[in-house]
Amino acid sequence: MDVVEAAGCLDRAVRQLRYDSRRVSAGDLFVAVKGKRCDGHAFLSQAYERGAQAAVGQGPFDPPAGFGYVRVADSQRALSQLAAACYGHPFQRLFTVGVTGGDLGVAPGNVQDNSDAVYQIDGDPVLSPDETALNAAVLRVAQDPQGRHPDGLANIPAIAGRLPIPVVSLHTIGDLFVPFSMEQIYARRAGAQGAADLLVTRAIRDHNHCGFAVQEEEAAFAALDNWVTNGVKPAGDDILTPASVADPEFGCQFSVPGHANYPACAP
C-alpha cells in the first residue's frame, strides 16, 4: 500500500476486513472507499462506534483514542491489496497457460500442450542463441488426458446463448485474455436463441481482464436486482453496431473515472 501517514493504535490483530460500515463488528478493519452514491469516509466514526480496531482511508481523519487509522493514496487499491493478503493471495495459486511462463501449477483438465513446440523470434528456422535460451526457459505443459472427451468437447462448457433468466454482463473493452469480441459473440448467440431481451451488456473502459471498479460492479448488481425484483430492465451499451463500438466515447456510460491508460470521458 502507498501509505501517506499512520496514526493511533496499529499493533493489534484484526478479525475481518470490511468496506461496508453497517457490517462492521468488534475487531474488524474498516476500509473507507469513495463510491458512486456515498463516500465511506463519512462512516469512519460509525465504524469506530461499531467496534472496529482500525481503519484505512485516503482522506484526513483524527482517530479517537485506541483507534488506528492509516491514510493511503488510493483506498480502493488498498482494499484489493488487503483482501488479497487476508485470503492468502489466492491469485498466486492460479495459472493461465502461456501467459506468465511461471511454475505455479497447471489447472486440472488443462487442454493446452506445448511439449514439442519450438518458439522462434525471427523467420529463420535455425535457432539463434536467444531462441535457444527462450526454448530452454519456457514452461512446458502437457495436455491432461481428461481435458478432452471423445466427442471433442473440452472441460469448458459450450455457450449457446439460451438465457432462462435476466443477465447483466460486464466486459472490459481492452481485455486481451478474453477479447471483447467474445462478448459480442455471446450477444449474437443470445439473439439467435430469441433471448436478446434477457441480456444487458455494459462496456467498461479498462485493459485488464475483469478490471472492474467496485462501483461498477455494485451498480450492475443493483440494476440486475431491480430488474428481477421490479421488472425494470436496465440500460446497457450497444455492442453490435460497429459505429457505436468505434466511437471514442464507447464505454463511457457505465465506466467510472480513474481507469488507467484511458482518456477521461466527456462530462
Domain range annotation of the chain: 3-86, 94-148, 167-246
DSSP string, 189-231: HHHHTT-GGGEEEEEE--SSTT---HHHHHHHHHHHHHHHHH-
- Identify the burial level of 6 via C-beta atoms within 10 angstroms of its C-beta, where 0-12 means exposed, 13-18 middle and 19 or more buried: middle
pTM above 0.75, yes or no: no
Residue 87 has pLDDT above 70, yes or no: no
Residue 154: per-residue pLDDT: 53
Residue 108: per-residue pLDDT: 58
What pLDDT band is residue 199 in, cutting at 50, 70 and 90? very high
Q: Using only the alpha carbons of the chain, give its radius of gyration.
A: 23
Weakest mean pLDDT among 8-22, 168-182, 244-258: 8-22
Q: pLDDT tens digits, residue range 129-167?
A: 888 888 788 777 777 666 665 555 555 667 889 999 999
Residue 32 in contact with residue 57, Cβ under 8 Å? yes
For residue 259, give the C-alpha cell: 481507469
Return the CATH fold of 3-86.
3.40.1390
Report the alpha-carbon angle 235-241-242, nearest 5. Answer: 135
